[in-house]
Structure 1
Amino acid sequence: MDKNLLRSQIAAFLTEDIGRGDLTSESIFGANEMGSARLVAREEFVVAGIGVAKEVFALQNSDIVCNETVAEATKVAAGDVVLEVSGPVVDLLKAERVALNLLQRMCGIATLTSRFVEAVAGLPVRITDTRKTTPGLRMMEKHAVQVGGGSNHRFNLTDGVLIKDNHIAACGSITEAVKRVREKAPHTIKIEVETDTLDQVEECLVCGADIIMLDNMSPKMMAEAVGKIDGRALVEASGGVNLETVRAIAESGVDIVSVGALTHSAPSCDIGMDWLD
């Protein structure tokens, strides 16, 4: 992750949460009172975001000491300690909510991603995310996908060409859209086109698309499309993918399965900060 971007985002999150100050903590504790706490798993999950949580505490007060007790991508059980922190009590409490919010979110994404990866184990296919991320959290959420064993699709719109249904509708045809892209995009950039019919797949082959996305097709239709493409383009499956359907989709022969649910529907994991006496 980009450290400068990460720090600027976390600083904004802390400002949002703390406001002009922590009225409760600052009324109870003096600035020099010290304490320690543990971030503890309340359920089983895959750990992601330890470095982010540490950065939250460090930005709040550089005197806070963080001790990692598990590594990224570790599967933990309820009761396992994820991170130990010690330092000024007021600052530990100020940073607590932001650190937990981000850690819980990232662990949830990594855990869900790992389940999708496990569901297609043994098949030559990659599970990827999409741009359906939480505004402001994309970098962290995509990092969590990687921790869970998945891969990243485009980070933003400058990362690649993906001609989608609305591009095609507004332009008039796949052929015309691909032609216009080729006239302006660098030759080093691959062109991906979204399709939802076999006729569109055929049009992509004729105009030389590099990657063909099969959107919301049945596994049977996908298998037919893969046979038609016959290695002439990379094949991505997308649309409505879930844990019950992903194996059948992968078995159709596609190279990539993109899953928006990895980031837009992953439940946050239950993690608490327990104070030490």
Structure 2
Amino acid sequence: MSEQQVQRKQVQVNGTGLSYLEAGGRSAAPLLLLHGTFWSRVWLPVLPALGTHSRCVALDLPGFGASDGELDVHSATVPELARTVLAAADALGMDRFNLAGHDIGGGIAQHLAATSGRVDRLVLMNSVMFDSWPVPAVERFRDPQVRASMGVNEMLTARAETTRKAVARPLSDDEVADYVSPWKDPTRVRSWMAMAAAADARYTMDLVPALREAAVPTRLVWGREDEFQKITFARRYSAEIPASDLVEVPGKHIPTEDSPEQVAEAILDHLAA
């Protein structure tokens, strides 16, 4: 399967058109993939490989990527975003599903694994967990004055800088432009700032007892040079949460860009177990 066989589609969820990238046959086991402070683009390098095993749906949350809608500080919390993801799963005909989450999307994924009873297997890729978040560059957006002062041009510059820091290999200008393209839209700028303002470690800390009890089979796949979500947290998670293990790969915060073959192999191995 090539990237040309990855299709962008849309589903209506609570009256909002949510965009997603889809790969694989519709009769295959569903794999729902979630982003955090980036968008579904982070999963694109591995979707063709994952699509050989699963019906992959890499969702754009409201106000992110190519999705309609707009998040505010209330709707951007982990529990509220988890409700949105479940509604999307319902609309897509996914009763039970495998689930992968990156960054804050991993926090949403932990919430669903711990509380929904619908997750068969879980993948956390360079995810927030425990009290690893929010990092200072995100936490500052809790201040309404900071949010009010951020325009499109400032956001594009900031996201470009963060994207380059999130990948170990040198990204081309075209790749960076592709990653930051959604934030040319003021609605998506506001949605990103809402997610940043709503970031709170209590959402993942409070889940720890339920995650231990649920013991959903979990694989952590981690770019070991990540400067945003340190691998020490992944090692702690795999040591403390039952039925979890860790695969370390070369790369930083977006290891799908640095080590796509290793990331895909680690995920496929986990899903096939």
Same fold (TM over 0.5): no
Q: Compute the TM-score of the two structures, normalised by the length of structure 2.
A: 0.26
Q: Max radius of gyration: which structure? A: 1
